[in-house]
Structure 1
Amino acid sequence: MISLALKALKANPLKTILIYFSLIFSITAIFLISSISNGIINMYSSILKNDGDIIVTQKDISDTFFSNVDIKLLSKINTIKNIESSSALIVGASPIEKLPIVAVYGVSKNRFLNYKLSEGNYPIDKEVLVGESIYKQLSNKQFINIANKDYKISGVFKSDIGFENGGVVLNIKDAGKIFNKSASMIMINTKVDTNIDLILKQINSFSEEIEAKSTQSFVDNYNQFKIIQSSSNAISFIAFTMGLLGIVSIMSITINQRKSEFGIKRAIGIPMKKIVFQIITESFILGVLSFLSSLLLSQIVLYFIKNSTLLQGYVNGEITSILALYIFITSILMAMIGSIIPALNAAKTDPIILIQGNRI
């Protein structure tokens, strides 16, 4: 059956090429949309997960950019039993030189060690650390201007997280003056085998204006991540539908061109289900080839996206084995469903009509 399917594909090169490229376009779109959204979520999640087991933000806030937590809570939190360490962070954004938007992180002093220096020193007041991908694009390597204030560049750091490597880090006191807040969030590390729920209750009792959650719970329920994921799924579904419609259209034309072939096969006793199975096999082969081509193409595109200076490392796709499996199944379904609809339509037609060449 596979050999017959391969012969049929070679016998209809134009149809094969059209379906092949239609599948590649749709599958690559799904790959890029899904992997980039996953990459964005995983980068921001990594920043949070690397900093602790518990996150404290302003209560009922939709985004951490708008959160404002009193940094004085650190002294109270550190008195709780089984707290190993705590740090504060301000997250914001600002234009810098020709760059329209750059992530700005204000951090408490004990968090500076999270940034691996490639040159220079950690900043003191009115100084900043600059991520490597931003530093390469700066015309002034000595000072940068944030919110109309000049800050000396004390050092350069490298991070595997694009959001950080394309950002600027400064003392949280200086960041507080820029963004007019005390802290966006507080991250807490606990000792091993600590009762997290008990600590969460203690922290939440300090103020009615804050909300403490485990890091995993925060990431799983963060509204912005849900919006990104939902948007990704919606656009992927549109790409899937467009690809499916394209394949159905091409297959309908192809089967109409092959109606005499199908009519003769049915007239000599070949059951229609066997003919339909051959058509599905052809589509399966195309689906597999298109998936492999799309996977390679997506990896190449994501490489250039990751290393593009224009994107500053903020856009970074991640193709996991689970995502690849999901898209492989999607690719096969797209190819097979797209072919089975016109094939079943042909199965209803009398073989005499098919041989005569009338419309299906």
Structure 2
Amino acid sequence: MPHAIKAIKANRLKTSLIILSLVFSITSIFLITSISNGVISMYSSMLKSDGDIIITQKNISDTFFSNVDIKLIEKIKTLDEVTKASALIVAASMVEELPIVAIYGVTKNRFENYNLIKGAYPKENEVLLGKSIYENLDKKDEIKLSNKVFKVAGVFESSIGFENGGAVLNINDASKIFNKSASMIMVNCKIDTDIEKLALKINLFDKEIEAKSTRNFVDNYNQFKIIKTSSNVISFISFCMELLTITSILSITINQRKSEFGIKRAIGISMKKIIFQIVNEALILGVLGFFMALILSNLALFLIKNNSFLQGYVNGEISLEITIFIFFTTLTISILGSIFPALNASKTDPIVLIQGDKI
């Protein structure tokens, strides 16, 4: 270890390049993973907040495209297992200078989900605003949605970024704007109800609907799969770029130290010890790069979370699970990036190394 630290200090320029490469690559993996997980967590938390069963239009790729007949609620309420049924329209619209704002049309029995901090729940032609969007509006008393002006009835606060940066309407108003009955219906059940059996029973009401347990819906939601897959692909690309960069820089560094390794071989130092030293150097750089990236990532996420323009829609937290995964990924990259140059250096004839021929 002391020899590895001494070698790192002796090659400061190359060391700085490797650390910078590690920091930016690891930071990109941190941000991509944590933000994608944050988006999934926020939307799934919103769906799980009220409802054991979610009913959407059958064979739709996204809830934004779903259209379910709200009259179905009356049939669902006749089931003994059901304690509550509510409907929700999910949409988006431009508001003032804000490029996109989430719009939620809800039945009155869902208003209690929104924690009022000012005013009252909306009546007809009124809107309830999340705290984040409310603070960004120039006109606080009314907003325009799809060429229709709504009076601001109150303000609510939510820990879910999508809601805190959104607007809540009566479902009848939202239905007129977005020309649909309901995006989904949420069903609450009595304790000890067999959720899957009840979902099958509800599906018999209409061949155009699909009822699933909330857990099943969230686990199989197509958009979540797309986000996770995209995140994994981009992270893998970052991984490969980082591996290539470390291997290239270490190869150049080791090539410049050929005389050092030649002398070590000549005086009887084994190949294993030379490889071990080089891998140790890479691991030290990897650990340094990891912790610098962790600090930078947390700072970036803090700035993103508190950026008023983003309204809380882009959010992410670095969990312990992600931290441990990326830490071991970094160590893997460091070992893989150093192993080829190390093997190349250790296998070369010491006389050739001392003479200064290329590795």
Q: Which range, TM-score by smaller chain?
A: over 0.9
Residue deviations 1:268-296, cap 9 Å, x none?
Answer: 11111111011111111111111111111
Structure 1 residue identity aligned to 2:283: F
Provide the residue aligned with 1:318 in structure 2. 317
Provide the residue aligned with 2:240 in structure 1. 241
Q: Secondary structure at the match of 2:308?
A: coil
Structure 1 residue identity aligned to 2:12: P
Deviation at residue 127 of structure 1 after TM alignment: 0.4
Deviation at residue 91 of structure 1 after TM alignment: 0.2
2-structure distance, mates of 1:248, 1:212? 52
Provide the residue aligned with 1:43 in structure 2. 42
1-structure distance, mates of 2:284, 2:80? 61
Provide the residue aligned with 2:183 in structure 1. 184
Residue deviations 1:197-250, cap 9 Å, x none?
Answer: 210111000000000001111111111111111111111111111111111110
2-structure distance, mates of 1:56, 1:4? 64
Structure 1 residue identity aligned to 2:157: K
The 8 Å contact of residues 68 and 182 in structure 1, kept in 2 or not, is answered as yes
The answer to whether residue 214 in structure 2 is matched with residue 215 in structure 1 is: yes
> 1:291-306 to 2 correspondence within 5 Å?
291-306=290-305
2-structure distance, mates of 1:30, 1:315? 16
The answer to whether residue 263 in structure 2 is matched with residue 268 in structure 1 is: no
> 1:1-360 to 2 correspondence within 5 Å?
2-360=1-359
Structure 2 residue identity aligned to 1:284: L
The 8 Å contact of residues 129 and 153 in structure 1, kept in 2 or not, is answered as yes
Deviation at residue 318 of structure 1 after TM alignment: 2.1
2-structure distance, mates of 1:310, 1:192? 42
Residue deviations 1:129-173, cap 9 Å, x none?
Answer: 011111111111111000100100000111111000000001001
Structure 1 runs, 4 residues or longer, greater than 3 Å off: none
The 8 Å contact of residues 106 and 176 in structure 1, kept in 2 or not, is answered as yes
2-structure distance, mates of 1:358, 1:144? 74
Which 5+ residue runs of structure 1 have no aligned equivalent?
A: none
1-structure distance, mates of 2:52, 2:347? 62
Deviation at residue 184 of structure 1 after TM alignment: 0.1
Give TM-score, length-normalised by structure 1: 0.98
Structure 2 residue identity aligned to 1:348: K
Aligned length: 359
Q: CA RMSD in A?
A: 0.8
The 8 Å contact of residues 23 and 335 in structure 1, kept in 2 or not, is answered as no
1-structure distance, mates of 2:39, 2:227? 9
Deviation at residue 347 of structure 1 after TM alignment: 2.1
Deviation at residue 321 of structure 1 after TM alignment: 1.2
2-structure distance, mates of 1:311, 1:80? 42
Give TM-score, length-normalised by structure 2: 0.99
The 8 Å contact of residues 276 and 340 in structure 1, kept in 2 or not, is answered as yes
